[in-house]
Amino acid sequence: MYILQNAFHNILRNRGRNILLGAIIFVIIIASVVALMINNTTKGIIDDYKSRFSSAVTIIPNMERMRDEAMKNSSGGRMRIMAPVIPSEQYVEFGNSDYLYDAVYRASTGLNSDNIMAIDAKLGGGGSTTGTIVSGGTMSTPTSYMFSLQGNRFEDFDEGLRDLAEGSMPKNKNECIISSDIAELNGISVGDIISFTSELAYKGETFTDTTYIETYYELTVVGIYYDATDEYNPGGQQNAYTNRRNEILTNYETVVAQMQPGLSGINITATYYVENPDMIDAFAEELYAKGLDPIFDVTTDETSYNKIVGPVEGLKNISISFMIIVMIFGGIIIALLSSIAIRERKYEIGVLRAMGMKKHKVALSLWSEILIITCLCLVLGLGIGTLVAQPITNLLLVQQIEAAESVASTAGFSGGMMMGSVVNPVANSSAQPLENIDIALGFNTILEIIGIALLLASFAGLVSISKITKYEPIKILMERN
Amino acid sequence: MSVLVLKDISYQYEGTKKSVLKNINVAFERRKVYTIVGKSGAGKSTLLSLISGLDVCVKGEILYEGTSLKALDRDDYRAKSIGVIFQSFNLLTNATAVENILLSMNISGSKIKDKKAFAYELLEKVGIDREKAGRKILKLSGGEQQRVGIARALSHNPDVIIADEPTGNLDRDTEADVLKVLTSLAHDEGKCVIIVTHSRKVTSIADEIWGINDGKLLLMH
For B99, the closest of A9, A14, A477 (CB atoms) is A9
Strand partners, A273: A56, A102
Rounded Cα–Cα distance for residues B105 and B95 (Å): 15
Q: Is residue A410 predicted with pLDDT exceeding 90? A: no
> For residue A355, which residues of chain B lie inside 8 Å, CB to CB?
78-79, 103-104, 107, 152
What is the structure's pLDDT at A419?
33
Q: In the predicted model, what is the mean pLDDT of residues A346-350?
A: 89
B92 contacts A356? CB cut-off 8 A: no
Contact call for B49 and A350, based on CB within 8 A: no
CB A356 within 8 A of CB B75: yes
Backbone angles phi, psi at B44, to 5 degrees: -65, -50
Nearest to A227 by CA among A124, A126, A154, A118: A154
**B197 in reach of chain A (CB within 8 A):** no
Q: Could you say which of A356, A474, A480 has the minimum Cβ distance to residue B79?
A: A356
Phi, psi of A142 (to 5 degrees): -80, 165
Q: Contacts of residue A2 in chain B, CB cutoff 8 Å? A: 102-103, 106-107
Highest mean pLDDT among A56-65, A73-82, A466-475, B106-115: B106-115
CA-CA distance, B85 to B71, in Å (whole number)? Answer: 24
Distance between CA atoms of residues A160 and A167, nearest Å: 17
Instruction: Considering only the beta carbons, identify the residue of A359, A361, A477 that sits closest to B90.
Output: A477
Contact indicator for B46, B56 with CB cutoff of 8 Å: no
Asked if residue B1 has pLDDT above 80, the reply is no
In percent, how much of chain A has pLDDT > 90?
28
Give the integer Cα–Cα distance in Å for A41 and B209.
79
What's the pLDDT score for residue A318?
87
B37, amino acid identity:
V
Question: What is the average pLDDT across A317-322?
Answer: 87
Compute the average pLDDT of residues A120-138.
61
pLDDT above 70 (res A416): no
- Bridge partners of A221? A176
The pLDDT of A93-103, averaged and rounded, is 89
β-pairing verdict for B32-38 and B208-213: parallel
Listed by start position, the domains of chain B span: 30-53+75-219
Three-class DSSP category at A300:
coil
CA A27 remoteness from chain centre: 33
Q: Search chain A and give the residue with CA nearest B93.
A: A348
B75 contact A CB<8A: yes
Amino acid in position A35:
A
How far is C-alpha A284 from the geometric centre of its chain's CA atoms? 20
B80 touches chain A (CB under 8 A): yes
For residue A186, the cross-strand partners are: none
Report how far residue A468's alpha carbon sits from residue A395's, in angstroms, rounded to the nearest whole number: 46
Q: What is the pLDDT of residue A271?
A: 86
Q: Where are the domains of chain A?
A: 2-51+308-480, 106-269
Buried b (16+ CB within 10 A) or exposed e, A236-275: eeebbbbbbbbbbbbbbbbbbbbbeeebbbbbbbbbbbbe
Range from A152-161, A378-387, A413-422, B29-38 carrying the lowest mean pLDDT: A413-422
pLDDT tens per residue, range B3-34: 999 999 999 887 887 888 999 999 999 999 99
In this prediction, residue A130 has a pLDDT band, given cuts at 50, 70 and 90, of very low
Phi/psi region, residue B82 (left: phi>0; alpha: psi -120 to 50; beta: rest), is beta
Give the sign of the dihedral formed by CA B114, CA B115, CA B120, CA B121.
positive
Contacts of B151 (CB under 8 A, 6+ apart): B97, B101, B119, B122, B123, B125, B126, B128
Mutate which: A4, A6, A347, A351, vs B, most B CBs within 10 A: A351
Dist. CA A367–CA A469, nearest whole Å? 14
Give me the mean pLDDT over the A415-436 stretch.
Answer: 47
Highest mean pLDDT pick, A433-447, A460-474, B39-53 = B39-53
Contacts of B104 in chain A (CB under 8 A): 355
**Buried residues in A362-391 as b, exposed as e (16+ CB within 10 A):** bbbbbbbbbbbbbeebbeebbeebbeebbe
Q: Average pLDDT over chain B, rounded to whole?
A: 90
Instruction: Return the C-alpha torsion angle A64, A69, A71, A73, nearest 10.
Output: -170
Compute how many other C-beta atoms are within 10 angstroms of the C-beta atom of residue B143.
17
Name the CA radius of gyration of chain A, rounded: 35
| Beta-carbon count within 10 A of B118 CB | 17
* SS3 label, residue B42: coil
pLDDT in tens, A196-211: 999 888 766 555 667 7
Q: What 3-state DSSP class applies to A55?
A: helix
**What are A276-291's pLDDT values in tens digits?**
777 888 999 999 999 8
Instruction: Tell me whether A357 touches chain B (CB under 8 Å).
Output: yes
Answer yes or no: is pLDDT of A132 > 50: no
**Residue B139 and residue A463: Cα distance in Å, rounded?**
32
Using the Cα atoms of residue A150, residue A155, residue A159 and residue A162 in order, give the sign of their dihedral. Answer: positive
DSSP A470: T
Give the DSSP H or E segment for A444: helix A443-468
A405 by Cβ neighbours in 10 Å (0-12 / 13-18 / 19+) ranks as middle
Q: What are the pLDDT digits (tens) for A172-199?
A: 999 999 999 999 999 999 999 999 999 8
pLDDT given for residue A431 in this prediction: 52
CB pairs under 8 A between A and B: 60
Nearest to B94 among A14, A352, A361 (CB): A14
- Tell me the pLDDT tens digit for each residue of B116-170: 999 999 999 888 999 999 999 999 988 889 889 999 999 999 999 999 988 877 7
What pLDDT score does A345 carry? 86
* Least trusted range by pLDDT, from A51-55, A311-315, B50-54, B150-154: A51-55
**Cα of A61 vs its chain's centroid, Å:** 22
Q: Nearest Cα to A272, choosing from A128, A420, A90?
A: A90
> Quick one: CA dihedral A479, A481, B5, B7, positive or negative?
positive
Q: Which residue stretches of chain B are H helix?
A: 44-51, 74-76, 97-108, 115-125, 130-133, 142-154, 172-187, 200-203
Asked if residue B10 lies in contact with residue B57, where contact means CB atoms within 8 angstroms, the answer is: yes
Does B30-53+75-219 carry CATH code 3.60.15.10?
no
Q: Can you state the percent helix, strand and coil of chain A, rounding each to 5?
A: 50, 20, 30
Average pLDDT value for residue range A74-81 = 60
Out of A130-134, A225-229, A250-254, B94-98, which region has the weakest mean confidence (pLDDT)?
A130-134
**Sheet with A138-139, edge to edge strand ranges:** A78-81, A132-135, A138-139
CB distance A6–B103 less than 8 Å? yes
The torsion angles phi and psi of A153, rounded to 5 degrees, stand at -115, 80
Task: Average the pLDDT over A24-47 and give the result.
Answer: 86
**Which of B90, B104, B138, B152 is the best mutation test for A, with the most CBs of A within 10 A?**
B90
* CA dist., res. B205 & res. A258, Å (int): 126
DSSP string, A357-410: --HHHHHHHHHHHHHHHHHHHHHHHHHHHHHHHHHHHHHHHHHHHHHHHHHHHH
Task: Decide if B157 touches A, using CB distance below 8 A.
Answer: no
pLDDT band of A467, cuts 50, 70, 90:
confident
Which residues of A fall within a CB distance of 8 Å from B94?
10, 13-14, 348
What does the mean pLDDT of chain A come to? 82
